[in-house]
Amino acid sequence: MVRFQLMVLLLASVFVSTEKSLAQQPLLESKAHLGSVQALPPDVAIMDNQPLIILVANGEARATIVVSDEVAKCLATGQLDNPDPQNSTEKIAWAARDLREYFQKISGAELRIIGETEVIPAGPKILVGRSKLTADYDQRIPSGLTPLREEEGYAIISDGQTLVLVGNDEQPYHGTEYAVYFFLHRLGVRWYLPEDFGEFVPTRATIEVGNLDVVDHPDFKLRNWWTHWFADDLRASETRWKIRNGMNPNTMHAVPGDSTVRAVLPPESEKDNPEFAEVFARDASGKVYPFMPNLSSEASVQYAANFIKEHFRKNPDANSFGIGADDGLPRDFSANTAATHMNFPSLIGRFNDPGGDSTTEEWMQWVQRVSAEVHKEFPEKFLSTNGYANRDTPPFGITPDPSIWIMFAAIWCDTYHAYDNPNSWMTGRQFNMIKAWTEMYDNVYMYDYLYYNLQRLKYILEQEWSGDFSFSYFVLSYIVISNL
The CB density around residue 103, as the number of other CB atoms within 10 Å, is 22
- How does pLDDT run across 259-275, given as a tens digit for each residue? 999 999 999 999 999 99
pTM (two decimals) = 0.81
Report whether pLDDT(164) > 50: yes
Show Cβ contacts of residue 228 under 8 Å, excluding neighbours closer than 6 positions.
none
Lowest mean pLDDT among 102-111, 211-220, 309-318, 464-473: 464-473
DSSP string, 226-293: --S---GGGHHHHHHHHHHTT---S--S----TTGGGGGS--GGGTT-GGGTTTEEE-TTS-EEEEEE
pLDDT at 411: 77
Report whether pLDDT(382) > 80: yes
pLDDT at 354: 64
Lowest mean pLDDT among 25-34, 270-279, 339-348: 25-34
pLDDT category of residue 355 using cuts at 50, 70 and 90: low
Most confident segment among 230-234, 305-309, 391-395, 468-472: 305-309
Report whether pLDDT(449) > 60: yes
- How does pLDDT run across 51-108, given as a tens digit for each residue? 689 999 999 999 999 999 999 999 999 778 888 898 999 999 999 999 999 999 999 9
pLDDT at 269: 96
Report whether pLDDT(47) > 60: no
Q: How far apart are CA 126 and CA 105, in angstroms?
A: 18
Q: What's the average model confidence in pLDDT over 8-18?
A: 32
pLDDT at 12: 31
C-alpha distances in Å from residue 461, one per residue of 154, 196, 467: 38, 18, 9
Domains parsed from the chain with CATH numbers? 6-244 (3.30.379.10), 260-446 (no CATH)
| 246 within 8 A of 223, measured Cβ to Cβ | yes
Q: What's the average model confidence in pLDDT over 441-468?
A: 56
pLDDT category of residue 342 using cuts at 50, 70 and 90: confident
Amino acid at 408: F
pLDDT at 351: 60
Report whether pLDDT(146) > 80: yes
Q: Is the dihedral of CA 209, 213, 215, 216 positive or negative?
A: negative
- How does pLDDT run across 235-258, given as a tens digit for each residue? 889 999 999 999 999 989 999 999
Average pLDDT, the chain: 82
Q: How far apart are CA 362 and CA 137, in angstroms?
A: 50
* Percentage of the chain modeled with pLDDT above 90: 61
**Stronger pLDDT, 332 or 228, i.e. the higher one:** 332
Show Cβ contacts of residue 287 under 8 Å, excluding neighbours closer than 6 positions.
none
Q: How far apart are CA 434 and CA 413, in angstroms?
A: 12
pLDDT at 30: 29
pLDDT at 89: 96
Report whether pLDDT(383) > 60: yes
Report whether pLDDT(459) > 70: no
Strand segments (E) across 274-346: 280-282, 288-293, 320-323
* Percentage of the chain modeled with pLDDT above 70: 79
Chain-centroid distance, C-alpha 7: 13
pLDDT at 415: 74
**Stronger pLDDT, 459 or 133, i.e. the higher one:** 133
